[in-house]
Structure 1
Protein backbone atom coordinates (compact mmCIF):
# COMPACT_ATOMS: atom_id res chain seq x y z
CA UNK A 1 0.00 0.00 0.00
CA UNK A 2 1.48 3.40 -0.93
CA UNK A 3 2.06 6.12 1.61
CA UNK A 4 -0.54 8.33 -0.09
CA UNK A 5 -3.31 5.82 0.58
CA UNK A 6 -2.42 5.08 4.21
CA UNK A 7 -4.37 6.68 7.03
CA UNK A 8 -4.68 5.97 10.75
CA UNK A 9 -6.85 7.10 13.65
CA UNK A 10 -5.98 7.73 17.30
CA UNK A 11 -8.83 7.90 19.84
CA UNK A 12 -7.83 9.15 23.28
CA UNK A 13 -9.16 11.76 25.69
CA UNK A 14 -5.67 13.14 26.37
CA UNK A 15 -4.91 15.84 23.80
CA UNK A 16 -1.17 15.76 24.47
CA UNK A 17 -1.03 12.01 23.98
CA UNK A 18 -3.02 12.30 20.74
CA UNK A 19 -0.47 14.81 19.47
CA UNK A 20 2.41 12.51 20.41
CA UNK A 21 0.72 9.56 18.68
CA UNK A 22 0.00 11.75 15.65
CA UNK A 23 3.73 12.43 15.36
CA UNK A 24 4.67 8.75 15.73
CA UNK A 25 2.12 7.56 13.21
CA UNK A 26 3.09 10.18 10.62
CA UNK A 27 6.81 10.65 11.12
CA UNK A 28 7.89 7.20 12.29
CA UNK A 29 5.35 4.85 10.70
CA UNK A 30 4.69 6.69 7.45
CA UNK A 31 0.93 7.34 7.59
CA UNK A 32 0.07 10.23 5.30
CA UNK A 33 -3.04 11.14 7.32
CA UNK A 34 -3.84 10.75 11.02
CA UNK A 35 -7.37 11.42 12.28
CA UNK A 36 -8.01 12.20 15.95
CA UNK A 37 -11.04 11.27 18.05
CA UNK A 38 -12.04 11.39 21.71
CA UNK A 39 -14.73 8.68 21.86
CA UNK A 40 -15.66 5.39 20.25
CA UNK A 41 -18.65 6.92 18.46
CA UNK A 42 -16.43 9.62 16.98
CA UNK A 43 -13.87 7.02 15.93
CA UNK A 44 -16.54 4.89 14.22
CA UNK A 45 -17.84 7.97 12.39
CA UNK A 46 -14.36 8.69 11.02
CA UNK A 47 -13.83 5.04 10.09
CA UNK A 48 -17.10 5.04 8.17
CA UNK A 49 -16.19 8.21 6.30
CA UNK A 50 -12.49 7.51 5.69
CA UNK A 51 -12.11 4.24 3.73
CA UNK A 52 -8.30 4.55 3.69
CA UNK A 53 -7.89 4.20 7.46
CA UNK A 54 -5.99 0.95 7.91
CA UNK A 55 -5.00 1.27 11.55
CA UNK A 56 -6.81 2.40 14.69
CA UNK A 57 -5.24 3.04 18.10
CA UNK A 58 -7.88 3.29 20.83
CA UNK A 59 -7.37 4.12 24.49
CA UNK A 60 -9.06 1.41 26.55
CA UNK A 61 -11.29 3.76 28.59
CA UNK A 62 -12.54 6.21 25.95
CA UNK A 63 -16.28 7.04 26.18
CA UNK A 64 -18.37 4.39 24.42
CA UNK A 65 -15.84 1.59 24.84
CA UNK A 66 -17.85 -0.07 27.60
CA UNK A 67 -16.71 -3.67 27.24
CA UNK A 68 -14.68 -6.06 25.05
CA UNK A 69 -17.91 -6.71 23.12
CA UNK A 70 -17.55 -3.20 21.65
CA UNK A 71 -14.16 -4.21 20.28
CA UNK A 72 -15.61 -7.38 18.78
CA UNK A 73 -18.32 -5.34 17.07
CA UNK A 74 -15.72 -2.91 15.74
CA UNK A 75 -13.62 -5.76 14.30
CA UNK A 76 -16.70 -7.27 12.65
CA UNK A 77 -17.71 -3.96 11.10
CA UNK A 78 -14.19 -3.15 9.86
CA UNK A 79 -12.52 -6.55 9.31
CA UNK A 80 -9.52 -5.17 7.39
CA UNK A 81 -8.65 -2.67 10.15
CA UNK A 82 -5.54 -3.26 12.28
CA UNK A 83 -6.75 -2.48 15.80
CA UNK A 84 -4.53 -1.63 18.76
CA UNK A 85 -5.58 -0.86 22.32
CA UNK A 86 -3.40 1.46 24.38
CA UNK A 87 -3.75 1.63 28.14
CA UNK A 88 -2.14 2.37 31.47
CA UNK A 89 -3.48 -0.96 32.76
CA UNK A 90 -1.14 -3.94 32.70
CA UNK A 91 -3.67 -6.31 34.26
CA UNK A 92 -3.56 -9.73 32.62
CA UNK A 93 -7.36 -9.98 32.49
CA UNK A 94 -7.67 -6.65 30.67
CA UNK A 95 -5.06 -7.68 28.09
CA UNK A 96 -6.48 -11.15 27.43
CA UNK A 97 -10.05 -9.82 27.28
CA UNK A 98 -9.00 -7.41 24.54
CA UNK A 99 -7.20 -10.17 22.64
CA UNK A 100 -10.21 -12.47 22.93
CA UNK A 101 -12.30 -9.63 21.46
CA UNK A 102 -10.09 -9.66 18.38
CA UNK A 103 -7.67 -6.73 18.77
CA UNK A 104 -4.24 -7.06 17.18
CA UNK A 105 -2.25 -5.58 20.02
CA UNK A 106 -2.35 -4.21 23.55
CA UNK A 107 0.24 -1.49 24.18
CA UNK A 108 1.07 0.10 27.52
CA UNK A 109 1.19 3.89 27.67
CA UNK A 110 4.10 3.69 30.08
CA UNK A 111 6.63 2.33 27.57
CA UNK A 112 9.16 4.55 25.80
CA UNK A 113 8.32 6.25 22.49
CA UNK A 114 10.80 3.95 20.73
CA UNK A 115 9.18 0.82 22.18
CA UNK A 116 5.71 2.15 21.40
CA UNK A 117 6.75 2.74 17.80
CA UNK A 118 8.21 -0.78 17.57
CA UNK A 119 5.01 -2.27 19.02
CA UNK A 120 2.81 -0.47 16.50
CA UNK A 121 5.13 -1.54 13.70
CA UNK A 122 4.65 -5.19 14.69
CA UNK A 123 0.88 -4.72 14.69
CA UNK A 124 1.06 -3.11 11.24
CA UNK A 125 3.08 -6.13 10.07
CA UNK A 126 0.18 -8.42 11.08
CA UNK A 127 1.75 -9.66 14.30
CA UNK A 128 -0.17 -9.74 17.58
CA UNK A 129 1.63 -7.62 20.18
CA UNK A 130 1.21 -7.80 23.95
CA UNK A 131 3.29 -6.56 26.90
CA UNK A 132 5.96 -9.00 28.03
CA UNK A 133 4.55 -8.89 31.57
CA UNK A 134 1.46 -10.87 30.53
CA UNK A 135 3.39 -13.96 29.49
CA UNK A 136 3.92 -16.53 32.22
CA UNK A 137 6.11 -19.28 30.83
CA UNK A 138 6.31 -22.53 32.84
CA UNK A 139 9.55 -24.37 33.59
CA UNK A 140 10.88 -27.01 31.19
CA UNK A 141 9.56 -30.56 31.44
CA UNK A 142 9.89 -33.84 29.58
CA UNK A 143 6.58 -33.20 27.82
CA UNK A 144 7.66 -29.70 26.77
CA UNK A 145 10.63 -30.28 24.51
CA UNK A 146 10.26 -26.72 23.27
CA UNK A 147 11.23 -25.02 26.52
CA UNK A 148 14.79 -23.85 27.19
CA UNK A 149 16.14 -21.26 29.59
CA UNK A 150 18.36 -18.52 28.21
CA UNK A 151 21.91 -18.31 29.48
CA UNK A 152 21.27 -14.69 30.44
CA UNK A 153 18.95 -15.97 33.14
CA UNK A 154 16.58 -13.00 32.95
CA UNK A 155 14.00 -14.51 30.59
CA UNK A 156 12.98 -17.90 29.36
CA UNK A 157 12.65 -18.52 25.63
CA UNK A 158 10.44 -21.18 24.12
CA UNK A 159 12.07 -23.04 21.25
CA UNK A 160 9.37 -24.80 19.29
CA UNK A 161 9.75 -27.58 16.72
CA UNK A 162 9.43 -26.25 13.17
CA UNK A 163 5.92 -27.57 12.57
CA UNK A 164 4.61 -26.09 15.82
CA UNK A 165 6.14 -22.72 14.92
CA UNK A 166 4.29 -22.86 11.59
CA UNK A 167 1.02 -23.64 13.36
CA UNK A 168 1.66 -20.87 15.90
CA UNK A 169 2.36 -18.33 13.17
CA UNK A 170 -0.94 -19.05 11.45
CA UNK A 171 -2.83 -19.07 14.76
CA UNK A 172 -1.36 -15.64 15.55
CA UNK A 173 -2.79 -14.40 12.26
CA UNK A 174 -6.26 -15.48 13.40
CA UNK A 175 -6.56 -18.61 11.25
CA UNK A 176 -9.00 -21.34 12.24
CA UNK A 177 -7.96 -25.00 12.62
CA UNK A 178 -9.45 -25.73 9.20
CA UNK A 179 -7.54 -22.85 7.58
CA UNK A 180 -4.29 -23.90 9.25
CA UNK A 181 -4.79 -27.49 8.10
CA UNK A 182 -5.40 -26.34 4.54
CA UNK A 183 -2.36 -24.03 4.55
CA UNK A 184 -0.01 -26.73 5.90
CA UNK A 185 -1.63 -29.62 3.99
CA UNK A 186 -2.33 -31.53 7.20
CA UNK A 187 -5.48 -32.99 8.72
CA UNK A 188 -7.50 -31.00 11.24
CA UNK A 189 -6.83 -33.75 13.76
CA UNK A 190 -3.08 -33.22 13.41
CA UNK A 191 -3.52 -29.47 13.81
CA UNK A 192 -5.50 -30.02 17.01
CA UNK A 193 -2.63 -32.10 18.38
CA UNK A 194 -0.11 -29.36 17.59
CA UNK A 195 -2.34 -26.69 19.14
CA UNK A 196 -2.79 -28.79 22.27
CA UNK A 197 1.00 -29.01 22.48
CA UNK A 198 1.22 -25.22 22.19
CA UNK A 199 -1.32 -24.82 25.00
CA UNK A 200 0.86 -27.04 27.21
CA UNK A 201 4.09 -25.33 26.19
CA UNK A 202 2.78 -21.87 27.04
CA UNK A 203 0.64 -22.88 30.00
CA UNK A 204 -2.29 -21.25 28.20
CA UNK A 205 -6.03 -21.83 28.41
CA UNK A 206 -7.18 -20.04 25.26
CA UNK A 207 -6.04 -19.39 21.69
CA UNK A 208 -5.68 -15.70 22.54
CA UNK A 209 -3.30 -16.54 25.37
CA UNK A 210 -1.25 -18.76 23.04
CA UNK A 211 -1.08 -15.96 20.48
CA UNK A 212 -0.10 -13.49 23.20
CA UNK A 213 2.68 -15.73 24.46
CA UNK A 214 3.80 -16.48 20.93
CA UNK A 215 4.28 -12.79 20.16
CA UNK A 216 7.02 -12.70 22.77
CA UNK A 217 9.09 -15.14 20.70
CA UNK A 218 9.52 -12.33 18.20
CA UNK A 219 10.77 -9.94 20.86
CA UNK A 220 13.38 -12.19 22.50
Structure 2
Protein backbone atom coordinates (compact mmCIF):
# COMPACT_ATOMS: atom_id res chain seq x y z
CA UNK A 1 0.00 0.00 0.00
CA UNK A 2 1.24 3.44 -0.88
CA UNK A 3 1.74 5.42 2.36
CA UNK A 4 2.36 8.76 0.64
CA UNK A 5 0.66 11.67 2.34
CA UNK A 6 -0.89 9.38 4.94
CA UNK A 7 -1.34 10.40 8.56
CA UNK A 8 -1.28 8.18 11.64
CA UNK A 9 -2.45 8.72 15.21
CA UNK A 10 -0.31 7.40 18.06
CA UNK A 11 -2.10 7.37 21.41
CA UNK A 12 -0.21 6.40 24.54
CA UNK A 13 0.59 7.55 28.06
CA UNK A 14 4.35 7.09 27.61
CA UNK A 15 6.06 9.82 25.55
CA UNK A 16 9.03 7.59 24.71
CA UNK A 17 6.72 4.92 23.32
CA UNK A 18 4.97 7.50 21.17
CA UNK A 19 8.28 8.80 19.84
CA UNK A 20 9.52 5.27 19.07
CA UNK A 21 6.32 4.51 17.17
CA UNK A 22 6.57 7.82 15.33
CA UNK A 23 10.10 6.93 14.18
CA UNK A 24 9.03 3.53 12.88
CA UNK A 25 5.98 4.92 11.10
CA UNK A 26 7.89 7.70 9.36
CA UNK A 27 11.26 6.03 8.71
CA UNK A 28 10.13 2.48 7.99
CA UNK A 29 6.56 2.81 6.73
CA UNK A 30 6.73 6.18 5.00
CA UNK A 31 4.02 8.08 6.87
CA UNK A 32 4.29 11.82 6.35
CA UNK A 33 2.62 13.03 9.54
CA UNK A 34 2.13 11.55 13.01
CA UNK A 35 -0.39 13.02 15.45
CA UNK A 36 0.09 12.16 19.12
CA UNK A 37 -2.40 11.90 21.99
CA UNK A 38 -1.90 11.17 25.69
CA UNK A 39 -5.49 10.18 26.59
CA UNK A 40 -8.50 8.55 24.96
CA UNK A 41 -10.48 11.79 24.94
CA UNK A 42 -7.57 13.63 23.31
CA UNK A 43 -7.24 10.86 20.72
CA UNK A 44 -10.93 11.05 19.85
CA UNK A 45 -10.77 14.82 19.49
CA UNK A 46 -7.73 14.49 17.22
CA UNK A 47 -9.56 11.96 15.05
CA UNK A 48 -12.56 14.25 14.81
CA UNK A 49 -10.56 17.36 13.92
CA UNK A 50 -8.53 15.55 11.26
CA UNK A 51 -10.55 12.49 10.27
CA UNK A 52 -8.45 11.53 7.24
CA UNK A 53 -6.02 9.40 9.21
CA UNK A 54 -5.32 5.95 7.84
CA UNK A 55 -3.89 4.28 10.98
CA UNK A 56 -4.42 4.65 14.73
CA UNK A 57 -2.28 2.93 17.37
CA UNK A 58 -3.67 2.75 20.91
CA UNK A 59 -1.71 1.72 23.97
CA UNK A 60 -4.19 -0.30 26.04
CA UNK A 61 -2.83 1.48 29.15
CA UNK A 62 -3.96 4.82 27.68
CA UNK A 63 -5.82 6.95 30.26
CA UNK A 64 -9.52 6.62 29.52
CA UNK A 65 -9.48 3.09 28.10
CA UNK A 66 -11.53 1.08 30.58
CA UNK A 67 -13.49 -1.00 28.10
CA UNK A 68 -13.08 -2.32 24.58
CA UNK A 69 -16.33 -0.45 23.86
CA UNK A 70 -14.20 2.68 23.54
CA UNK A 71 -12.35 1.20 20.58
CA UNK A 72 -15.53 -0.18 19.04
CA UNK A 73 -16.88 3.37 18.97
CA UNK A 74 -13.76 4.50 17.10
CA UNK A 75 -14.32 1.74 14.53
CA UNK A 76 -17.98 2.69 14.18
CA UNK A 77 -17.21 6.36 13.54
CA UNK A 78 -14.15 5.80 11.32
CA UNK A 79 -14.77 2.60 9.33
CA UNK A 80 -11.84 3.24 6.96
CA UNK A 81 -9.34 3.65 9.79
CA UNK A 82 -6.90 0.79 10.43
CA UNK A 83 -6.81 0.30 14.19
CA UNK A 84 -4.20 -1.50 16.30
CA UNK A 85 -3.71 -2.05 20.04
CA UNK A 86 -0.38 -2.34 21.80
CA UNK A 87 -0.46 -4.37 25.01
CA UNK A 88 1.72 -6.07 27.62
CA UNK A 89 -0.79 -8.91 27.89
CA UNK A 90 -0.39 -12.22 26.06
CA UNK A 91 -3.65 -13.65 27.41
CA UNK A 92 -5.89 -15.10 24.73
CA UNK A 93 -9.02 -13.63 26.30
CA UNK A 94 -7.51 -10.13 26.00
CA UNK A 95 -6.67 -10.72 22.34
CA UNK A 96 -10.15 -12.06 21.69
CA UNK A 97 -11.73 -9.07 23.43
CA UNK A 98 -9.73 -6.70 21.21
CA UNK A 99 -10.69 -8.59 18.07
CA UNK A 100 -14.35 -8.57 19.13
CA UNK A 101 -14.02 -4.77 19.42
CA UNK A 102 -13.01 -4.66 15.76
CA UNK A 103 -9.29 -3.88 15.93
CA UNK A 104 -7.10 -4.89 13.02
CA UNK A 105 -4.08 -5.82 15.09
CA UNK A 106 -3.07 -6.84 18.61
CA UNK A 107 0.63 -6.07 19.02
CA UNK A 108 2.65 -7.07 22.12
CA UNK A 109 4.85 -4.29 23.46
CA UNK A 110 7.68 -6.77 23.99
CA UNK A 111 8.34 -7.46 20.30
CA UNK A 112 11.38 -5.92 18.64
CA UNK A 113 11.42 -3.02 16.16
CA UNK A 114 11.70 -5.29 13.11
CA UNK A 115 8.74 -7.41 14.22
CA UNK A 116 6.72 -4.32 15.07
CA UNK A 117 7.41 -2.84 11.64
CA UNK A 118 6.35 -6.10 9.97
CA UNK A 119 3.17 -6.24 12.09
CA UNK A 120 2.18 -2.67 11.22
CA UNK A 121 2.90 -3.27 7.55
CA UNK A 122 0.57 -6.29 7.58
CA UNK A 123 -2.15 -4.23 9.25
CA UNK A 124 -1.81 -1.45 6.69
CA UNK A 125 -1.93 -3.99 3.88
CA UNK A 126 -5.38 -5.09 4.99
CA UNK A 127 -4.59 -8.07 7.21
CA UNK A 128 -5.49 -8.82 10.84
CA UNK A 129 -2.38 -9.23 12.98
CA UNK A 130 -2.19 -11.33 16.12
CA UNK A 131 1.08 -12.40 17.77
CA UNK A 132 2.33 -15.92 16.97
CA UNK A 133 1.80 -16.98 20.59
CA UNK A 134 -1.96 -16.68 20.10
CA UNK A 135 -2.15 -17.51 16.41
CA UNK A 136 -3.91 -20.75 17.29
CA UNK A 137 -6.97 -18.92 18.66
CA UNK A 138 -10.18 -20.75 17.76
CA UNK A 139 -12.73 -19.23 15.35
CA UNK A 140 -14.68 -16.19 16.53
CA UNK A 141 -17.88 -18.20 17.08
CA UNK A 142 -16.07 -20.25 19.73
CA UNK A 143 -14.12 -17.25 20.95
CA UNK A 144 -17.34 -15.61 22.11
CA UNK A 145 -17.83 -18.49 24.53
CA UNK A 146 -14.35 -17.86 25.94
CA UNK A 147 -15.19 -14.20 26.47
CA UNK A 148 -18.35 -15.15 28.34
CA UNK A 149 -16.32 -17.17 30.83
CA UNK A 150 -14.36 -14.18 32.18
CA UNK A 151 -15.51 -12.38 35.36
CA UNK A 152 -18.37 -9.88 34.92
CA UNK A 153 -17.28 -6.43 33.78
CA UNK A 154 -17.79 -3.32 35.86
CA UNK A 155 -21.14 -1.48 35.53
CA UNK A 156 -21.26 0.62 32.32
CA UNK A 157 -20.99 3.92 34.21
CA UNK A 158 -17.55 2.87 35.48
CA UNK A 159 -16.38 2.28 31.92
CA UNK A 160 -16.92 5.88 30.82
CA UNK A 161 -14.16 8.43 30.41
CA UNK A 162 -14.59 11.79 32.19
CA UNK A 163 -15.54 13.41 28.88
CA UNK A 164 -18.11 10.71 28.12
CA UNK A 165 -19.69 11.28 31.53
CA UNK A 166 -19.97 15.00 30.73
CA UNK A 167 -21.61 14.21 27.40
CA UNK A 168 -23.99 11.78 29.12
CA UNK A 169 -25.00 14.33 31.75
CA UNK A 170 -25.79 16.94 29.08
CA UNK A 171 -27.65 14.34 27.01
CA UNK A 172 -29.77 13.58 30.06
CA UNK A 173 -30.65 17.28 30.16
CA UNK A 174 -32.13 16.88 26.68
CA UNK A 175 -29.41 18.77 24.83
CA UNK A 176 -28.61 18.16 21.17
CA UNK A 177 -25.16 17.28 19.85
CA UNK A 178 -24.75 20.88 18.74
CA UNK A 179 -25.61 22.19 22.21
CA UNK A 180 -23.33 19.64 23.89
CA UNK A 181 -20.48 20.64 21.57
CA UNK A 182 -21.01 24.31 22.43
CA UNK A 183 -21.17 23.70 26.19
CA UNK A 184 -18.03 21.50 26.24
CA UNK A 185 -16.19 23.56 23.58
CA UNK A 186 -15.84 20.51 21.33
CA UNK A 187 -16.46 19.89 17.66
CA UNK A 188 -19.73 18.19 16.76
CA UNK A 189 -17.73 15.34 15.24
CA UNK A 190 -16.04 14.74 18.59
CA UNK A 191 -19.41 14.67 20.34
CA UNK A 192 -20.64 12.10 17.81
CA UNK A 193 -17.70 9.85 18.70
CA UNK A 194 -18.49 10.10 22.40
CA UNK A 195 -22.16 9.42 21.64
CA UNK A 196 -21.20 6.31 19.68
CA UNK A 197 -19.20 5.13 22.70
CA UNK A 198 -22.19 5.71 24.99
CA UNK A 199 -24.49 3.77 22.64
CA UNK A 200 -22.03 0.88 22.64
CA UNK A 201 -21.37 0.87 26.40
CA UNK A 202 -25.07 0.89 27.29
CA UNK A 203 -26.09 -1.39 24.41
CA UNK A 204 -28.67 1.22 23.40
CA UNK A 205 -30.10 2.17 20.00
CA UNK A 206 -31.51 5.61 20.77
CA UNK A 207 -30.53 8.77 22.62
CA UNK A 208 -33.56 8.32 24.89
CA UNK A 209 -32.41 4.82 25.86
CA UNK A 210 -28.91 6.08 26.69
CA UNK A 211 -30.35 8.92 28.78
CA UNK A 212 -32.68 6.54 30.62
CA UNK A 213 -29.90 4.05 31.35
CA UNK A 214 -27.58 6.82 32.52
CA UNK A 215 -30.26 8.27 34.76
CA UNK A 216 -30.86 4.91 36.40
CA UNK A 217 -27.17 4.26 37.09
CA UNK A 218 -26.36 7.77 38.30
CA UNK A 219 -29.28 7.77 40.71
CA UNK A 220 -28.56 4.31 42.12
Q: Using structure 1 for the length normalisation, give the TM-score.
A: 0.62
Alignment of 1:1-220 (within 5 A): 3-136=3-136, 203-204=138-139, 206=141
Unaligned runs of 5+ in 1: 137-201, 210-220
Task: Report 1 or 2 for greater relative contact order, CA contacts < 8 Å, sequence distance ≥ 6.
Answer: 2
Q: Which residue is 1:188 aligned to? A: none
Number of residue-to-residue matches in the alignment: 144
| 1:157-205 deviation digits (Å, cap 9, x = unpaired) | xxxxxxxxxxxxxxxxxxxxxxxxxxxxxxxxxxxxxxxxxxxxx7435
Asked if the contact 2:4–2:30 (Cα under 8 Å) also holds between the matched residues in 1, the reply is no
Which structure shows the bigger proportion of residues in helix conformation? 2
Q: 1:12 to 1:55 in 2, by over 3 A?
A: same
Query: What is the DSSP-based 3-state SS (H/G/I as helix, E as strand, rest coil) of the residue aligned with 1:16?
Result: helix
| 1:4-42 deviation digits (Å, cap 9, x = unpaired) | 530001101111111100000111011100011111111
Q: 1:64 to 1:46 in 2, by over 3 A?
A: same
| 1:44-78 deviation digits (Å, cap 9, x = unpaired) | 11111113211000001211111111111110011
Q: Distance in 1 between matches of 2:51 and 2:77?
A: 12
Q: Using structure 2 for the length normalisation, give the TM-score.
A: 0.62
Q: 1:205 to 1:20 in 2, by over 3 A?
A: closer
Q: Distance in 2 between matches of 1:108 and 1:41?
A: 23
Q: Distance in 2 between matches of 1:207 and 1:113?
A: 33
Q: Distance in 1 between matches of 2:72 and 2:120?
A: 20
